[in-house]
Structure formats: structure tokens, C-alpha cells
Amino acid sequence: MHMPVRETIFALSTGALPSGVAIVRISGTMAGTICQQLSGNLPEPRQAALRSIRSRNGLMLDQALVLWFPAPHSFTGEDCLELHLHGGRALVRVVLEELGSFDNCRMAEAGEFSRRAFEHGKLDLVEIEGLADLLAADTEMQRRLAVEQSAGHLSAIYEAWRGKLIAARAMIEAELDFSDEGDIPGPVSDRIWGDMRAFLLELEKALEDLKTGEIIRDGFMVVIAGRPNSGKSSLINALAGRDVAIVTEYEGTTRDILHCELDIGGYAVHFYDTAGIRDTSEPVEREGIRRALGKMEEADLVLSLADSLSPIDFVEAPTGMDRIRVCTKVDLLSDSDTKPNADILISSATGYGIADLKTLVLSRVEDKVGTFSLAIPSRLRHGQQLRDAIEEVRQAIERSDLGLEIRAEHLRRASDALGRITGRIDVEMLLGKIFSEFCVGK
């Protein structure tokens, strides 16, 4: 039966035009033909060659660097070609149109190059997610976390765990198969279950690290809360260095939740300005207050603000929530005024205490994150599979009333759960979601 030839894909893989250089990436069986037709002979593999790029009807398009990566030694595992063009809009457009005129060639979809890399065994799912995070990283800690994942360090941990489970199952199955032949030294189960108890603790520790990974990847959430006119909007403007919120002397002007993201010490820290908390019958303001209380429940930290001039009236944080009491408007205090009792004194108008407040917030982030290796899970998908693996291992250990065959089956399910993280088994349903997060040229 004749198999259809897989389409060759192409895309602009660099950022917005115009730019100094625009790299067009081509992957698939037509890549070599395209190179020969547009620029002459194939260059030496992985060596840049300066070539004239011409359309097939002989029109000179550009002088460009051409790079040739024959399969399987390329990002996708297929024949790949890169054209390093000058980054003009009209030039890139005409080159892409020329590529589209070749038979069986089309523009790539979002993440399609990475998907082909996965299908050819060049990258596993965790490495690919790390690559997506690396492209999206805004802060130093996000970059470091993404590098750990994209370099395969986290995958190596998951695969080592899978290896432990497979070895344990092999021992159990050997005991079941050869128990009557005398060449398996005694029951091995006792040693296996001891090893599995230690392994269970290792999995549980990894699940605890998920929160750390989420804070680094998605950001640390700080909610600014307080009574009306306690200086919340002025503070978020001072932190952001720009006008995020409207500031007036009237109470109740913040009705919805306003947000800004800052890079503090390499961590992404999200600050949320909320409606002033008070009893009110005004329906829009009441909705704002309801949202403010809801946002406090989700927070990693609450900054509870109070005006230095009024009696100190800090908003309570939800039970168990970390809170910093911040006294605002200290520039309005005179020398004879009693110094307010708070964790930190600030003035958004003069900038007094703002840098110290950022340092204090950073210390709370670091307390939450702790000392850690960055080879840690950072996505809910990893957490769900880890929970499944933990439950299966726990069942295998604790259910000594079950036969060895059934306990071994629990270990098999646990190894399957870990295999789903790296993409070794039944992941087709996940692929579209994961690769859709990429830009088109990746």
C-alpha cells in the first residue's frame, strides 16, 4: 500500500518584523529539494554557507546564510533547513510565499516543529514543556526552572523512578514464576516492600515541591487589602512605578481587582489591589468587596494596610494565611505623633519604605520556596500523575491481604502514571493542548 508522503512544514522562527535577522525554518522530506532550488547545492551539514536566495523563476530575493541539518541529526529528527534572511516584512513574505508554492509544503501550525521532535524521540513531554516555559520566561528563576526541565534533568528523575518500579515488579514476577524451582533465593517481597516504603516518601516529597514549582513558574500572589482610603491604590502604583490604579480622596473608588506583575529577586510576584473592605449597601462596591475577600483566600501573602493617622485597623487575613501589616502615609506623621505598631512603615507619596517592603516580600517568597533543586514538578498535570502514582504504590504496600499478582499490578499502574508525565504512554489526548502553547515557529 502506498503511504502518503508527510507534508514538509515551514515558518518564521524569529520574532516580530522588521528585525536584523529573520530565520525561516523548514522541516521534512522536501527540505533538501527546496535548498537546491532556491540556493544551489546543499551546504556541508551544520555549516553556515552564504548563498544567494532566488525564486524558482530566477528573481533574486536576498543574500542569506543557509544551514542544512540532515535527518536524524536535527531538532525535529527530519531533514531541516534554516534560511537566515534579512528581517524585512516584504522579503520574508515573498520567501514564505515561494516555499508555499512547492508541492506538499505548508505553513507550520503552533508547536508543530516541537511535536515532530517528540514523535521522533528527540524530546519527551517534560522537556518540551520546559522549552515552552523557557520561551515564556520573564524572570531569572523562571528561566532556571525551564532550563532544568528542557535539559532533561526532571525527566531523568521520573525515568529513574519508573525504573525502580519496573525492577520491583520484575522481582515479584520472578518470585511468582520460579517460587517452586529453588533458584530464587527465598522470598524477596520483604525487601521489596521496604524499598517501596522509602520510595513512597520520595514521591510524596516531590508532590510537596509542586507548590514551589508553581510559585516559580506562575508567580507568587500578593493581595493588598485594607479599609477604604488606607492607601492600597497608591501602593500598587508606587510598586509598579506607574499609574495602575485611580487614586482619589473619595472612599470606594476601587471596585474591581487591579493587577501588576513585578520581578523581585528573580521571582515573578503578582500584586493585586482590591476594593476597600467596609459595610456598604452600594451594589457595585459590595461586589468589589466580595471579590476582594475571595482573592485573599487564593493569596500566598496578604499585605494588610492601615492609615498611620487613623486608629490602626488592619484587615484580618484568612486563617493560616501569611500577613504583613503595613502602615501607610507615614510622611503625614509629625515628630510628636506616636509611631504606629506595624511590621513596616511606608509612604507611597515619597517612596519611603517601598524598597524595604519589596525586600520583605522577597523574604516571604524565599521562605515559601525554601532551598530546593530546580528539578521539580511545576505543572498541575505532573501533580495529578504523581498523586495517582503515590496512591497506587500505597495500595501495593499496605494491601498485604491481596495476592502478589494484584500488588504487582498496582506497581505497574504507578509506573504507567509516571510514564504519562514524560509521554512514554497513552498521551495522544494531551498533545494538542501542550503544543498549542507554542508560537508557530517552534
Query: What pLDDT digit, counting tens, does each position of 384-401 carry?
Result: 899 999 999 999 998 888
Query: Which pLDDT does position 391 carry in this prediction?
Result: 95
The answer to whether residues 284 and 211 belong to one domain is no
The answer to whether residues 246 and 189 belong to one domain is no
Instruction: List the domain range (segments joined by +) for residue 351.
Output: 226-369
Report the share of the chain in percent with pLDDT over 90. Answer: 31
For 55-98, write each residue's pLDDT tens digit.
998 899 999 999 999 999 999 999 999 999 999 999 999 999 99
Which of 108, 142, 173 is the endpoint of a domain?
108
Of 121, 115, 151, residue with least CA distance to 133: 151
Angle at 358 between CA 356 and CA 359, to 5 degrees: 65
The answer to whether residues 232 and 345 belong to one domain is yes
The answer to whether residues 154 and 194 belong to one domain is yes
pLDDT higher than threshold 50 for residue 11: yes
Query: Which pLDDT does position 1 carry in this prediction?
Result: 46
pLDDT higher than threshold 60 for residue 255: no
281 confidence band (pLDDT: 50, 70, 90): low
What CATH number is associated with residue 306? 3.40.50.300
Residue 401 inside a domain? The answer is yes
Q: How many CB atoms lie within 10 A of CB 312?
A: 12
Beta strands in 17-164 (DSSP E): 19-27, 49-54, 60-69, 80-87, 105-107
Average pLDDT of the chain, as a whole number: 83
For 399-436, write each residue's pLDDT tens digit.
888 888 888 899 999 999 998 888 876 555 556 656 66
DSSP state of 308: T
**Grid cell 495602575 — which residue?**
244
The answer to whether residues 88 and 151 belong to one domain is no
What CATH number is associated with residue 46? 3.30.1360.120
Residue 120 inside a domain? The answer is no
For the chain, report the end-to-end CA distance as a whole number of angstroms: 33
Residue 278: partners with Cβ closer than 8 Å, 6 or more residues away:
227, 228, 251, 252, 289
What's the total number of domains in the chain?
3
For 315-373, write each residue's pLDDT tens digit.
877 788 889 999 988 888 877 777 788 889 988 889 899 999 999 999 898 888 875 56
Q: 440: burial class by Cβ within 10 Å (0-12, 13-18, 19+)? A: middle
197 confidence band (pLDDT: 50, 70, 90): very high
pLDDT higher than threshold 60 for residue 246: no
More confident residue, 435 or 192: 192
DSSP state of 100: H
Q: DSSP per residue over 209-276, as a string? A: HHHHHHHHHH-EEEEEEESTTSSHHHHHHHHHTS--S---SSTT---S-EEEEEEETTEEEEEEE-PP
pLDDT higher than threshold 50 for residue 252: no
pLDDT higher than threshold 70 for residue 202: yes
Residue 190 inside a domain? The answer is yes
Say if CB 236 and CB 334 are below 8 A apart.
no
Query: Which pLDDT does position 282 carry in this prediction?
Result: 65
